[in-house]
Amino acid sequence: MLERSRDEALGYLKPMLRRSLVQRAGLRYREELRIGEDFYFLATALAHAGYAATEPEPGYRYQVRPGSISSELALENVLGMRR
């Protein structure tokens, strides 16, 4: 997931997970993260499940807006993800 070019990035996936996986692994969103909480959630799910599949056709359009947290990373938020 992390080795793709910007045009192939999967950072804004909208995953569907089995409830049994979420319950078995005790998955929860990390509320202390300002950014990347969805990526962390997905990465943790993959670590427990071991596999994933993607749909090649996009189901939505993502638009970057000036001033959004996702488009302008603050150092404190990046350090929070790293921790």
CA count, 13 A, side-chain hemisphere, 81: 15
pLDDT tens per residue, range 62-76: 777 777 766 666 777
Question: Count of CB atoms within 10 A of residue 50's CB?
Answer: 6
Region of residue 67 (phi > 0: left; psi between -120 and 50: alpha; otherwise: beta): left
Q: Are 64 and 71 in contact (CB under 8 A)?
A: yes
Mean of pLDDT values over 1-18: 64
Rg (CA), the chain: 14
- Mean pLDDT of all residues in 5-32: 79
Q: Is 33 helix (H, G, I), strand (E, B) or coil?
A: coil
